[in-house]
Structure 1
Amino acid sequence: MPAITDTYKTKDGETIFYYKWKAKEDIPYKGVVQIAHGVGEHAGRYKSIAKVLRKSGYDVYANDHRIHGKSAKNQDYLGFYDGQDYFSDAVNDMRAFTEIIKKEHPNEKIILLGHSMGSLLSREYVTIYGEDLEALILSGTANFMKGLGNFGLFSAKVMSKLNGKHRSNELLKNLFFTHFNKKFKPNRTKVDWISSDKKQVDLFEADPLRIEDFSLSVYLDILKGSKKINDITTFEKTPKHLPILIFSGDKDPVGEMGKGVKKVARKYKKAGLQDVTLKLYKGGRHEMLNEVNKKEVQQDVLNWLNERIQASN
């Protein structure tokens, strides 16, 4: 069944595009999954996991974050941001999307699945709206990388003062994406770091909605947001009863080859979270949902989710 698509308006007048995959009607209904995608990509790339979930009885909703995908006015606006705080705006857009979902499912709690930047946004989201959630799934998440992160934060602040925060910057783009990719030299493409599946890498590189170039303020706001959510006080604001699944590849440079992801899991446990599951896949890179073993990963996510949903009903 193809996705249903629609748009909604944010409080500040932005138009946000979203997808909805309806659960199969001939099997028991289980719940609602809301997806938050990563930086530089779009929600349409989650068709595969949405298909698996809908076949198992879940409705799936996924929005293109502002300046991403079909939420951008046109190709020229991809990556261009002229607001005050991208991280907060994206979280608020997710909440507005949740409100639409809740109107369609008034008696349902939502399962939130965030990948990469979407996982960072989701980790902030649950500190504010966690009581509305049944479970949290984090793909390709990260601890704050002190060396690279602090240098990037310092550079973004300096460049913002010199050039204005809405201009793009080649140095910051290369600082992160080139840094991630050099872990896999000799490189076949600029995005070898996302997956060891060459077909998926080529599809991503050829995607007309993929973004490499962002307004400077996007880098700055994401870095500030990342630093904030990795402070222990943020972990302590997460509802203690919320089940959390964290999965990543142990060769994901965003997760510091597993080290950063382990730190995130430990911080949740230290903050008193009662049900935290960490799964690291050997040889996997940044996008485990697009890796060579993606069917295994999808099934693991589904099994974990079904166990929590059954336990809560």
Structure 2
Amino acid sequence: MSNGVTTTDFTLDGHAGRLVGTSWTPRNPRWIAVIAHDYGEHVGRFRWTAARLHEAGAAVHAADHEGHGRSDGARALIRDAEAAVEDLDRVIDHAVAENPGLPVVLIGVSMGGMLSARCTQRFGARLTALVLLSPVLGRWETIEELLPLPEIPETPIDPKLLSRDPEVAAAYAADPLVWHGGFARPTLQALRDELQRISIAGRLGRVPVLHLHGEDDRLVPVEDAVAGLAKIAGPATESQLYPGARHELLHETNRAEVMADLLAFLGRFVPVGTGGTGEAD
């Protein structure tokens, strides 16, 4: 415990084995934030984000997807994205059980944004709001380029495309829990299938949605995300774009601005305020 914040690891039974996650909980949380991380990374990269959220009164919960970070499964392999969505719903179950009666916000990053959008379509009745940061929606050029090839080349993510902050790239490249290899064909196919399901399933309903995206995102171009979101956006959907920002908005040089916009949006739906203090990193 540090300055009233308890940081604990938890494990859940996922579809492919054990899911390992972390909770950052202030003394008197007012709302719940569940984070769904991106492809190839892990929840340990969200300590700064968790600190800002619990300073705003949130109990923060996040688990590594199958095959990611400390969770079980072949590295960076997702064979069934629908099963990964069900795993994400298990994390929400855990968060609600730990903090009964509090409103729930789901925050999805890139591939985690895709999973979060689908989770909202399937299980969104208990969500108070949804935040999508640089989400993969509609189509993803990486999939369309790689899947038709007879052999998938090694195409690891270029850390320099994540943020304008060179320290972010260096930390990512040195992180042993980050996947530094290429895409597996079953993962690409599973993600493409899920994107099609999301587009077919239609609107996200009345859940308030905030879409945040960097205009210089070369990993998930903003135009594709905007087009994909348009197919599923409900009546309470808003977007904010950031000139010059790259893919990882919560690791960008203007991350404080991004977080301020995120909390200002959420403050209309959940009791954002001082619910606990302290740094999580």
1:50 CA drift (Å):
0.7
- Kindly indicate whether residue 127 of structure 2 is the aligned counterpart of residue 130 of structure 1: no
Aligned partners of 1:147, 1:69: CA distance in 2, in Å? 25
Unaligned runs of 5+ in 2: 273-281
- Kindly indicate whether residue 10 of structure 2 is the aligned counterpart of residue 6 of structure 1: yes
C-alpha contact 2:66 2:77 (8 A) present in aligned 1: no
Which one of the candidate residues 162, 170, 186 is aligned to 1:194?
Answer: 162
Instruction: Please name the residue that 1:181 is paired with.
Output: none
Unaligned runs of 5+ in 1: 160-168, 178-189
Instruction: Please name the residue that 1:79 is paired with.
Output: 76
Q: 1:55 and 1:226, CA in 2 relative to 1: closer, same or farther beyond 3 A?
A: same
C-alpha contact 1:115 1:139 (8 A) present in aligned 2: yes
Q: 1:219 and 1:268, CA in 2 relative to 1: closer, same or farther beyond 3 A?
A: closer
1:110 CA drift (Å):
1.5
Q: 1:276 and 1:107, CA in 2 relative to 1: closer, same or farther beyond 3 A?
A: same
- Kindly indicate whether residue 65 of structure 2 is the aligned counterpart of residue 61 of structure 1: no
Aligned partners of 2:48, 2:174: CA distance in 1, in Å? 18
1:115 CA drift (Å):
0.2
Which amino acid in structure 1 is aligned with residue 218 of structure 2? P
1:220 CA drift (Å):
1.8
Q: Residues 286-301 of structure 1: matches in 2 within 5 Å?
A: 286-301=247-262
Which amino acid in structure 1 is aligned with residue 127 of structure 2? L
Aligned partners of 1:266, 1:7: CA distance in 2, in Å? 36
Instruction: Please name the residue that 1:203 is paired with.
Output: 171
C-alpha contact 2:96 2:102 (8 A) present in aligned 1: yes
Instruction: Please name the residue that 2:99 is paired with.
Output: 105
Instruction: Please name the residue that 1:280 is paired with.
Output: 241
Which one of the candidate residues 83, 94, 97 is aligned to 2:88?
Answer: 94
Instruction: Please name the residue that 1:253 is paired with.
Output: 218
C-alpha contact 1:19 1:63 (8 A) present in aligned 2: yes
Instruction: Please name the residue that 1:19 is paired with.
Output: 22
C-alpha contact 1:153 1:223 (8 A) present in aligned 2: no
1:147 CA drift (Å):
5.9
The RMSD of aligned alpha carbons is: 2.3
1:132 CA drift (Å):
1.1
Aligned partners of 2:139, 2:87: CA distance in 1, in Å? 26
Identity %: 24
Instruction: Please name the residue that 1:302 is paired with.
Output: 263
Instruction: Please name the residue that 2:277 is paired with.
Output: none
Which protein has the bigger helix share? 1
TM-score, scaled to structure 1: 0.78
SS of match in other structure, 1:71: coil
Aligned residues: 267
SS of match in other structure, 1:90: helix
1:227 CA drift (Å):
3.1
Cα deviation digits, residues 205-232 of structure 1 (max 9, x gap):
1111110335431222112212332x2x
Which one of the candidate residues 218, 222, 227 is aligned to 2:187?
Answer: 218
